Amino acid sequence: MAGKTEAPGLFSPVTSLKGVGPKKAECFSRLGIERIADVLELYPREYEDLRSKKTISQLRDGDKAVVTARIFMATLGKGFGKKRTLHVYAEDDTGRMEVLFFNGTYFLKQFSQGSLFRFFGKVKAENGRVVMMHPSYSKADASSEEEILPVYPLTRGLMQKDVRTVSRFAVKCAGQLPETLPAEAIKSARLCGIDYAYSNIHYPEGDDAFRAARYRLVYEELFYLDAALAMSRSRGGSGRKGNAMDVSGAGAFTDTLPYKLTGAQQRTLDEVLKDLSSPNAMNRLVQGDVGSGKTVIAAAAMFTAAQNGFQSAFMAPTDILARQHFETLKKLYKPFDIKVGLLTANIPAAERKAVLKGLSDGSVDIAVGTHALISEGTTFRSLGLVITDEQHRFGVNQRELLSSKGINPDVLVMTATPIPRTLAVVLYADLDISVIDELPPGRIPIETRRYDRSTRKNAYKLLLSEVASGRQAYIVAPFIEDPEVMDGYSAETLYADFVSDHPDIRAELLHGRMSQQEKDGIMERFYSGSIQVLISTVVIEVGIDVPNASVMLIENSERFGLAQLHQLRGRVGRGKYQSYCLIVTGDDSETAVERAEIMCSTGDGFVIAEKDLEIRGPGEFFGFRQHGLPQLRLADPIKHRQVAAQALSDVKKMMAEDPTLSSAKNAAFAENLRNKYMQSDRLTL
Ligand code: ADP
Ligand code: MG
């Protein structure tokens, strides 16, 4: 075959290895692996430790063990088509066991009678029956030299042995990889070499070697992340020169509010005002759970800026949210002579032109909007304050683009996604943080209940009774239309079913593929109460504030992350009524049930964030990919907080000495940072 004649190298395509054809290559590609070297960062999810070999008679319930056994029978069990279970019976000199695979039709052929296999998996032992569920396995006669073998996350069509073939080759060549970490960091953290690290994370020689390898790789990920953040911040980080504002007039605004600020709001506002009055620029993150009242803090800050002759920009992630903020601000500023303009991609051209003109000539004080705010055509006369709401939705660069339109503007970022302190210190080392950890008084805690497919009807019963007593409700589905391959409800189907079952209830469908006009119209009618039940996708996730809504029913909750579920729940319980969050799981997988139970057990966003981080890992939590930031594959800033602290301190040392990373000794690192992580349109060095 072409390409296989030349000796393969680390950067050859996987197909240059014997045994990897185009079909397998396609599977590898699904795992993000094109070149042989790519497998180095496909870290094993666990290890098959041959030092823990057991005989069948030694197996106990709950063990995780390696067993070598001979097949004497393999049969298909219950189920249909490809989804049938596969029961393999195997024995050694001491006894018999069963090996069970779900969707096992594919594997049937491999387990021919009499062949010897090595199984590695979790043991269930009940009433004398010993079962291993879904183990990883390999032909035992394909003997390996290694004592500890990697177990990789797989995709259909790939076997452990396929990935091992590639990774064995890759670690052998890892010596060709250049060292990119600065020598000082390696020395300071006492890191092992990169080839040793890759070799021992895949095929550990022993426990110590494994630990040294993991330490190095975790450190490296965090070092890159910290450096990327530090570089992107250096143009807008703390210590920047700012505008010292006179903040003594802020009370004039808060005095007009129909309520008293909570203690936490007051504390946060004081911190913000102190920043505004300082000659240094503000760089503050306000974290507050949904409903904690962040908007009014933003309003007070922008009021103060306006009094000082500065314009403000308030950026929200969605049109709906921007519009809502626009309406809220207009109401709050009624007693004052402050002009607010709305700028989204979807407002009529004439209006848009007028707002743009107002911003550039200074007659508009505050611009509320979406990404439209950072588009090229937007210029400000005297932008002094930049606020982004739900900041985790924006990339670092988008925030900076907005800041670049001002004169050393103060920067305030707000988020309802509580960031665990442990992670915040890593990610926001240069941001000051205020936490609004108190809800406005009089809120009744939301009651969260869990349902499954069989009890789903009861959730709807509760929803209907709430609607009957005058409340409004949300129903959220993971999909817009019925998916072809996955299981789960779509908003369209739920809507169709709902209106045919309840023709007397005014229900409406809302999803992201509708035109802006349609969406706006629907939201307006939901605000006004003329729509009783809103059936939607997660477009309503952030910020929507309808106090009369008392039910949030979430279908196929397993398709949502914990933080997302918590955000959705925050759409209710915003008024004076008892509210309910009804979580309907679509399957009874462990994660689905676990997440639903966590949701039922706490309303505290910080607790949920910590759990979310535990379950999903920090990479997904922050959507690093989306932000163009280095992805964390191995590192977990919570579990590895000591390594994280070491890496951060080493990065700080490096940046203090060489802020632009232009010295020769950091050249390899700087180049790798640029190539590997910083897409040109996101973060630029
Ligand atoms: P979030 O922090 O989720 O953005 P909002 O700013 O939308 O929360 O506030 C939620 C609701 O609470 C709004 O209706 C707002 O008017 C109200 N609110 C804010 N602060 C207070 C307060 N101190 N007392 C009573 N209600 C308040
Ligand atoms: Mg908000």
Report domain extents, the chain.
Answer: 46-151, 447-602
Q: How many Å lie between the centroid of ligand 2 and the Cα of residue 202?
A: 45
- List Cβ neighbours of 97 (8 Å cut-off, separation of 6 or more): 56, 59, 67, 69, 89, 90, 91, 130, 131, 132
Mean pLDDT of 425-433: 65
Q: How many Å lie between the centroid of ligand 1 and the Cα of residue 442?
A: 12
pLDDT per residue over 22-73, tens digit each? 999 999 999 989 999 999 999 999 898 888 889 999 999 988 889 999 999 9
Q: Out of 1-10, 202-211, 274-283, 639-648, which region has the weakest mean confidence (pLDDT)?
A: 1-10
Cβ contact 118:67 at 8 Å: yes
Residues 67, 92: Cα–Cα separation, whole Å:
9
Residues 166, 14: Cα–Cα separation, whole Å:
7
Q: How many Å lie between the centroid of ligand 1 and the Cα of residue 545?
A: 9
CA 287 to chain CA centroid, nearest Å: 17
Atom index in ligand 1 nearest the CA of residue 547 equals: 14
**Which pLDDT value is given to residue 507?**
97
User: Higher model confidence: residue 677 or residue 261?
Assistant: 261
Ligand nearest to the CA of 569: 1
Residue (of 487, 626, 458) closest to 556 by Cα position: 487
Quick check: CB of 569 below 6 Å from ligand 1? no
What are the helix (H) ranges across 502-575? Answer: 516-528, 562-569
Ligand nearest to the CA of 316: 2
The one-letter amino acid code at 378 reads: T
Element (H, E) at 115: none
Q: How many Å lie between the centroid of ligand 1 and the Cα of residue 575?
A: 10
The one-letter amino acid code at 527 reads: Y
Ligand nearest to the CA of 571: 1
Quick check: CB of 295 below 6 Å from ligand 1? yes
Q: How far is CA 578 from CA 545, 554, 581, in A?
A: 16, 18, 10
Task: Tell me the pTM.
Answer: 0.60
Measured by CA distance, the residue closest to atom 5 of ligand 1 is 293
Residues 52, 147: Cα–Cα separation, whole Å:
10
Quick check: CB of 619 below 6 Å from ligand 1? no
Ligand nearest to the CA of 296: 1
**E strand residue ranges, 200-335:** 283-288, 311-315
Q: How many Å lie between the centroid of ligand 1 and the Cα of residue 508?
A: 26
- List Cβ neighbours of 101 (8 Å cut-off, separation of 6 or more): 85, 86, 88, 107, 134
For the record, the structure tokens of 19 come out as 């045994």
Judge: domain 447-602, CATH 3.40.50.300.
yes
Residue 46, classed as helix, strand or coil, is strand
Mean pLDDT of 624-635: 59
Residues 581, 552: Cα–Cα separation, whole Å:
5
Selection from 317-321, 518-522, 568-572 with the highest mean pLDDT: 568-572
Cβ contact 477:555 at 8 Å: yes
The yes-or-no verdict on residue 675 having pLDDT over 80 is no
Q: How many Å lie between the centroid of ligand 2 and the Cα of residue 133?
A: 46
Residue 551: pLDDT band by 50, 70, 90 thresholds? very high
- List Cβ neighbours of 685 (8 Å cut-off, separation of 6 or more): 231, 660, 661, 670, 673, 674, 678
The yes-or-no verdict on residue 325 having pLDDT over 60 is yes
Quick check: CB of 262 below 6 Å from ligand 1? yes
Sign of the CA dihedral running 230, 234, 240, 242 = negative
Atom index in ligand 1 nearest the CA of residue 294 equals: 2
**Which pLDDT value is given to residue 427?**
59
Residue 118, classed as helix, strand or coil, is strand
**Which pLDDT value is given to residue 623?**
41
Quick check: CB of 292 below 6 Å from ligand 1? yes
Residue 372: pLDDT band by 50, 70, 90 thresholds? confident
Residue in 253, 256, 259 to alter for ligand 1 test, most ligand atoms within 8 A of Cβ: 259
Atom index in ligand 1 nearest the CA of residue 292 equals: 2
Residues 99, 71: Cα–Cα separation, whole Å:
10
Residues 325, 109: Cα–Cα separation, whole Å:
62
Element (H, E) at 483: none
Q: How many Å lie between the centroid of ligand 1 and the Cα of residue 632?
A: 35
CATH (residue range 46-151): 2.40.50.140
**Which pLDDT value is given to residue 485?**
64
**Which pLDDT value is given to residue 263?**
97
